[in-house]
Amino acid sequence: MVHLRLHQIETYIGQYHILQGISFEAKKGEVTVLLGRNGAGKTTTLRTIMGLNPASKGIVEFNGEEIQGYPTYTIAQKGIGYVPEDQGIFAQLTVEENMKVAIKKDNAATQEKLDYILNLFPDLKKFWKRQGGLLSGGQKQMLSMARSFINDNQLLLIDEPSKGLAPIMVEKVMESIMQMKEQTTIVLVEQNFMMASTIGDYFYIIDDGKTVHNGTMDVLKEDEEMRRKYLGIS
């Protein structure tokens, strides 16, 4: 079942034509990976879905409803969570406060979800009262993901979670995403191919602002030529 669908999305930032035709589908319960070189437009695609850089043309459809043009907070309220590239941690707020900003209803269900999340990310429990800005890179990533997960978001947009992390942290991030995948659909932007190919189900390659290729992850794992052509790796 198609959870999120983009059709011929074009986005300008100032006068720059960043996205020139992005089309893809993310199926429910799957991890759809957006791959591509630096500057190809992957982050902008996520930001366009969230309404942070509104599209000038094209359609963004979520659960069958067209959401392009809506303000960011409305899009978020429809059940889409966003984990940006820089994690977007409120540096002077504590871990607890960071989570509180995200929490909509303070009830038993939320408490249950919170317990689940803290078990998933035990470090956050440990540093509950510590300022977000003082956390390590990996912990910030955990916090950002936890924050996007505390509400009943059905779709998560995650931007390069493994960037700048040590291999052991990357492992942890992968594990967490695999767990979260059980409850939500995930659209993942990731340059780390090892991670992308391990946890991803389906991929789309973005080049020069356009979606140029797609397929199941198994296919990409076999196709060395495609990897070298679009991702610069083999």
Partner 1 sequence: MDVFFNLTLNGLATGMLIFLLAAGLTLIFGLMDVLNFAHGGLFAWGAYSGIWIYSSTGSFLIGMIGAVATGFLLGWLTEKWIIKPVYGNHVQQILITLGLMLVLSELLKVVWGPNQISASPPDVLKGSWEVAGIVIIKYRVFIIAVGLLMFFVVQYILKNTKIGLVVRAGVMNKEMVQALGINIQKVFMFVFMAGAGMAALGGILLGPYSGVIHAEMGMEFAILAFIVVVIGGMGSFPGSILAAILVGLSGSFMAYYVPDLSLAVNMLLMAVVLIFRPQGLFGLKG
97 forms part of the interface with partner 1 (CB under 8 A): yes
| Span interacting with partner 1, options 82-90, 117-125, 178-186, 188-196, rule CB under 8 A | 82-90
219 forms part of the interface with partner 1 (CB under 8 A): no
Of the candidate residues 13, 101, 194, 219, the single one contacting partner 1 (CB under 8 A): 101
Q: For residues 3-42, which are near partner 1 according to CB under 8 A? A: none
Least gap, CB of 148 to partner 1 (angstroms): 8
Environment class of 225 (CB within 10 Å of its CB; exposed 0-12, middle 13-18, buried 19+): exposed
134 forms part of the interface with partner 1 (CB under 8 A): no
Which residues, other chains included, contact 67 with Cβ-Cβ below 8 Å and sequence gap of 6+? 51, 60, 61, 74, 75, 78
Helix (H), strand (E) at residue 143: helix 137-149
104 forms part of the interface with partner 1 (CB under 8 A): yes
CB nearer partner 1, residue 97 or residue 201:
97
| Span interacting with partner 1, options 86-94, 134-142, 172-180, 190-198, rule CB under 8 A | 86-94
Environment class of 16 (CB within 10 Å of its CB; exposed 0-12, middle 13-18, buried 19+): exposed
177 forms part of the interface with partner 1 (CB under 8 A): no
Which residues, other chains included, contact 137 with Cβ-Cβ below 8 Å and sequence gap of 6+? 164, 165, 169
Q: How far apart are the first and last CA of the chain?
A: 32
Size of the site for partner 1 (CB under 8 A): 23
Separation between Cα atoms, residue 101 and residue 40, nearest integer Å: 32
Binding site for partner 1 (CB under 8 A): 50, 52, 71-73, 76-77, 81-82, 84, 88, 90-93, 97-98, 100-102, 104, 147, 151
